[in-house]
């Protein structure tokens, strides 16, 4: 851009960011198609998977309910239901590229679609006075949703494998001062599976270079659009900066829209998920509203009921395994079958946590001699080769079978299926002010800590994951964690 003063300069000073004014918003420019090829492949694969799931659900429901004697009406409905399912997922933004491979919204859209399709079928049946067998609907749609979730999960894991290798990524231009831009770059690239690769940073005029964490090409580029075009980016990410707001940011969004480039703005809020954030228009301003986290009330009542029902179901189904493990613990080493330990629960209330004993009966007395050898994170004591552990105890810990008695803690209401790790009172005494926020909810048998590395995590990482869970709890997140727990238990990563 030329060195002439920009039209919106104030008091003879150049604005921090120069957004071109030569391109009026009313003059349409040809949109360039910036949607990467992999987005189209993923979308069509998702549509194909949803159609396959719908046909599977319909086929199973027809064969189960009617056998090989299916009426013409059900054949027509069975032909339309897969199309209705794909349309429902599309309306729930299940094919929106923003959610491909990142966050729970992709799975949440499938669950919403299942509920919506069930309601639509029921309403259509009522309005048209058509008798639809309840057994058909009750079987078809749950199978449809379950298989769609499984196929979408498999598709997402395949995308993650490509992203770890550096493929299927969004090219990002980060705009901001050195400090905020470096922080935004670090967060965007901290998880390659989210699909963001920062290819350049654009800094304001006069913002001196510094030896910070930015290891990319640092552009002292006054024209954001020129930088975006030069690096063929898919996304422009604005870091928190009071200078690039208002009309300048609005004009920038118009110009990027004409180029088919996505604009994202970081509000500077960390570890807060989408359900708690909403944008409210007030007096012409778009205000970011941060909802209070849900730690009580109706949703948590539903969580408590869900926990108890599932825990009771697991206890009934796993009764033979529980009895077998109890006998094995008793036979392989002297001492009680169950290990009882006082832990701190919600609101600082202590309770007795149950586990199958995996150590020799004198383990607590020998603990003091082993503190110097801890492999833990400075607060939690852990040893990879703990000499106090029995051979059988080492095996049940490998697959987290020692924690199965905690299902009774869930049944009694002391714990939840999903939540922060239940701490010892000595650990709580070392908590910083932020750490105690973990006790706003019940501790869980599993949680983000369990599915993200367990004992291999540092203390700060463990706290960060627990606080993220407290701040962003939802039933969808609980279900996602329960699903991931199965994989974590099978692989046994971080379990010792």
Task: Please provide the DSSP assignment of 215-256 as one string.
Answer: -S-EE--SBHHHHHHHTT-SEEEEPS-TTS-HHHHHHHHHHH
Classify residue 295 as exposed, middle or buried by CB count within 10 Å of its CB (0-12, 13-18, 19+): middle
C-beta pairs of 85-92 under 8 Å, 24+ apart in sequence: 85/50, 85/51, 85/53, 85/54, 85/113, 85/117, 85/144, 85/148, 86/47, 86/50, 86/51, 86/54, 88/113, 88/116, 88/117, 88/120, 89/50, 89/113, 89/148, 91/116, 92/116
Residues of the chain with pLDDT under 50: 1-31, 210-221, 377, 496
The four Cα atoms 436, 438, 444, 447 give a dihedral, to 10 degrees, of -130
- Any idea which residue has 């922060």 for tokens? 420
**Predicted pLDDT at 474:** 82
Tell the residue number behind the tokens 């869980």, with chain if given. 444
Buried-exposed string 113-123: b where 16+ CB fall within 10 A, e elsewhere: bbeebbeebee
Q: What is the pLDDT of residue 383?
A: 64
Distances in Å between the Cα of 199 and the Cα atoms of 62, 105, 189, 427, 479 are 52, 26, 11, 42, 35
Q: How far apart are CA 327 and CA 277, in angstroms?
A: 50
8-state DSSP, 472: T
Q: How far apart are CA 417 and CA 306, in angstroms?
A: 9
CA distance 386 to 360: 11
Strands 277-282 and 285-290: antiparallel
Helices (H), 28-177: 37-66, 72-91, 105-128, 134-164
- Cβ-proximal residues to 241 (8 Å cutoff; 6+ apart), any chain: 16, 175, 176, 177, 180, 204
Question: How many CB atoms lie under 10 A from the CB of residue 186?
Answer: 13
Are residues 31 and 258 in contact, defined by beta-carbon separation less than 8 angstroms?
Answer: yes
Pairing of strands 444-446, 218-219: unpaired
Q: How many CB atoms lie within 10 A of CB 10?
A: 7
CA atoms within 13 A on the CB side of 150: 10
Alpha-carbon distance 47 to 60, whole Å?
20
- State the pLDDT at residue 294: 65
Task: Give the contacts of 5 (CB within 8 A, at least 6 positions apart).
Answer: 12, 14
């Amino acid at each position: 851009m030329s060195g002439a003063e920009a039209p919106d300069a104030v008091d003879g000073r150049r604005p921090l960011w120069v957004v071109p004014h030569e391109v009026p918003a009313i003059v349409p420019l040809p949109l360039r198609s910036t949607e990467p090829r992999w987005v189209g492949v993923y979308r069509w694969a998702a549509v194909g998977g949803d159609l396959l799931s719908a046909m599977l659900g319909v086929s199973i429901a027809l064969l189960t309910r009617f056998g090989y004697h299916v009426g013409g009406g059900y054949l027509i409905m069975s032909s339309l239901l897969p199309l209705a399912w794909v349309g429902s997922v599309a309306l729930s933004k299940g094919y929106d590229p923003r959610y491909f491979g990142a966050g729970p919204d992709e799975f949440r859209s499938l669950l919403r679609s299942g509920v919506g399709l069930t309601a639509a079928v029921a309403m259509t049946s009522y309005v048209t006075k058509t008798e639809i067998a309840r057994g058909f609907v009750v079987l078809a749609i749950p199978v449809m949703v379950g298989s769609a979730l499984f196929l979408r999960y498999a598709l997402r894991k395949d995308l993650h494998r490509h992203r770890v290798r550096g493929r299927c990524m969004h090219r990002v231009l980060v705009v901001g001062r050195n400090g905020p831009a470096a922080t935004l770059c670090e967060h965007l690239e901290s998880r390659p599976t989210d699909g963001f690769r920062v290819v350049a940073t654009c800094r304001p005029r006069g913002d001196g270079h510094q030896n910070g964490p930015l290891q990319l090409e640092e552009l002292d580029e006054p024209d954001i659009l020129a930088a975006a075009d030069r690096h063929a980016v898919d996304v422009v990410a604005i870091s928190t900066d009071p200078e690039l707001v208002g009309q300048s940011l609005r004009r920038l969004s118009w110009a990027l829209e004409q180029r088919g480039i996505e604009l994202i703005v970081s509000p500077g809020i960390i570890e807060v998920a989408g359900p708690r954030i909403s944008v409210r228009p007030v007096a012409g301003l778009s205000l970011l509203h941060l909802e209070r986290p849900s730690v009580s009330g109706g949703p948590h009542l539903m969580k408590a009921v869900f926990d108890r029902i599932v825990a009771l179901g697991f206890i009934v189904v796993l009764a033979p395994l529980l009895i077998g493990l109890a006998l094995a613990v008793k036979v392989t080493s002297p001492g009680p079958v169950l290990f009882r330990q006082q832990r701190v629960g919600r609101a600082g209330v202590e309770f007795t946590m149950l586990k199958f004993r995996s150590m020799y009966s004198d383990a607590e007395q020998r603990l003091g001699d082993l503190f110097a050898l801890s492999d833990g994170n400075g607060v939690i004591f852990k040893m990879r080769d703990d000499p106090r552990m029995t051979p059988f105890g080492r095996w049940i810990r490998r697959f987290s079978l020692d924690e199965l008695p905690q299902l009774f803690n869930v049944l009694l209401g002391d714990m939840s299926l999903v939540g922060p790790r239940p701490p010892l009172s000595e650990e709580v005494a070392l908590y910083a002010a932020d750490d105690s926020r973990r006790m706003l909810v019940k501790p869980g048998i599993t949680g983000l800590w369990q599915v993200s590395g367990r004992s291999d995590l540092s203390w700060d990482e463990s706290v960060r994951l627990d606080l993220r869970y407290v701040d962003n709890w939802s039933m969808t997140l609980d279900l996602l964690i329960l699903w991931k727990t199965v994989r974590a238990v099978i692989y046994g990563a971080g379990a010792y």
